[in-house]
Chain A
Amino acid sequence: MARMTIQDKLALLSDAAKYDASCASSGTSKRDSRDGKGLGSTTGSGICHAYAPDGRCISLLKILMTNYCIYDCAYCVNRVSSNVPRARFTVDEVVWLTTEFYRRNYIEGLFLSSGILKSSDYTMEQMVLIAETLRAQGFRGYIHLKTIPDASAELIERAGLAADRLSINIELPTDASVKAYAPEKDPVQIRGAMGKVRLTGEDYAETSYKGRKRGKFAPAGQSTQMIVGADDANDATVLGNASKLYGAYGLKRVYYSAFSPIPDASAVLPLVDPPLMREHRLYQADWLLRYYDFGLDEIVTRNGDGMLDLDVDPKMAWALANRDRFPVDVNRAEKAMLLRVPGFGTKIVDRILAARRNGAVGLEDIRRMGGRVKAARPFIVTKDHRPGHLLDADGLRARFVKPKQMELF
Chain B
Amino acid sequence: MFAPRLPRIGTFEAWRDTARRLTLANVPVHEVDWGIAGEDEALFDAPLPEARGEIKVPAQFAPLARNLIPVRSGEGMALGYALLTRLQKERGLLSREADPNVARARELAKAIRRDIHKMHAFVRFREVDGPTGRRAFAAWFEPDHRIEEEVAEFFANRFGDMDWRIETPEVTITHAGGALRLEARGGVRPAAGDPLEELWTTYYSNIFNPARLKPDAMRAEMPRKYWRNLPETRAIPSLIADARARVTRMQEAGPSMPAPATLRRKEHAMPRASDEEPGLPLDDAAPTLPQLARDASACTRCPLYEPATQVVFGEGPANAPLMVVGEQPGDREDISGRPFVGPAGQLFNEVAAQAGLDREQAYVTNAVKHFKYVQRGKRRIHQKPAASEISACRWWLEQELSSVNPDLVLAMGATALHALTGNGAGILKRRSALEQTRDGRDLFVTVHPSYLLRLPDEDLRESETARFRDDLSRVQELLEERAA
Contact = CB atoms under 8 A, between A and B. Distances in A.
Contact of B160 (A33, A195, A261): A33
Interface in A51-82: 51-58, 61-63, 70-72, 80-82
A188 B298 CA distance: 11
Given A10-B202, A138-B161, A263 B263 contact: no
A106 B130 CA distance: 21
A35 B213 CA distance: 43
A11 interface: yes
Contacts of B337: 192, 195
A276 B212 CA distance: 7
Given A56-B212, A81-B258, A261-B211, A34 B203 contact: no
A219 interface: no
A81 B263 contact: yes
B123 interface: yes
A244 B308 CA distance: 9
Interface string B121-162: 111111100000001010100000000000000101111111
Q: Which of under 10, 10 to 19, 20 to 34, or 35 or more describes the interface residues of A?
A: 35 or more
Given A48-B221, A106-B124, A263-B253, A18 B161 contact: no
Contact of A81 (B213, B243, B262, B310): B262
Given A195-B335, A357-B95, A247 B263 contact: no
Interface in B194-249: 194, 196, 198-200, 202-218, 220-222, 230, 232-233, 236, 239-240, 243, 247
Nearest to B203: A14
Contacts of B10: none
Given A48-B221, A369-B97, A6 B200 contact: no
A176 to B, nearest CB: 14
Q: Would you call the interface of chain A mostly helix, strand, loop, or mixed?
A: loop
B335 A10 contact: no
Nearest to B217: A55
A184 to B, nearest CB: 7
**Which one of B162, B240, B254, B378 has the highest number of Cβ atoms from chain A below 10 Å of its Cβ?**
B378
B139 A105 contact: yes
A263 B158 contact: no
Interface residues of B, number: 93
A370 B109 CA distance: 13
Contact of A54 (B106, B121, B214): B214
B218 A6 contact: no
B206 A10 contact: yes
Contact of B212 (A36, A40, A54, A63): A54
A55 B222 CA distance: 9
A80 B260 CA distance: 11
Nearest to A262: B250
Contacts of A290: 377-378
A11 B251 CA distance: 21
Contacts of B211: 260-261, 273-274
A57 B377 contact: no
30 contacts: A7-B199, A7-B202, A11-B202, A14-B202, A14-B207, A15-B207, A18-B206, A33-B158, A36-B160, A37-B161, A41-B158, A47-B117, A50-B230, A52-B218, A52-B239, A53-B208, A53-B236, A54-B209, A54-B218, A55-B212, A61-B203, A80-B269, A100-B196, A103-B125, A104-B127, A191-B309, A248-B335, A264-B256, A273-B211, A273-B247
Top 5 A-B pairs ranked by shortest CB distance? A55-B217, A33-B160, A365-B98, A55-B214, A81-B258
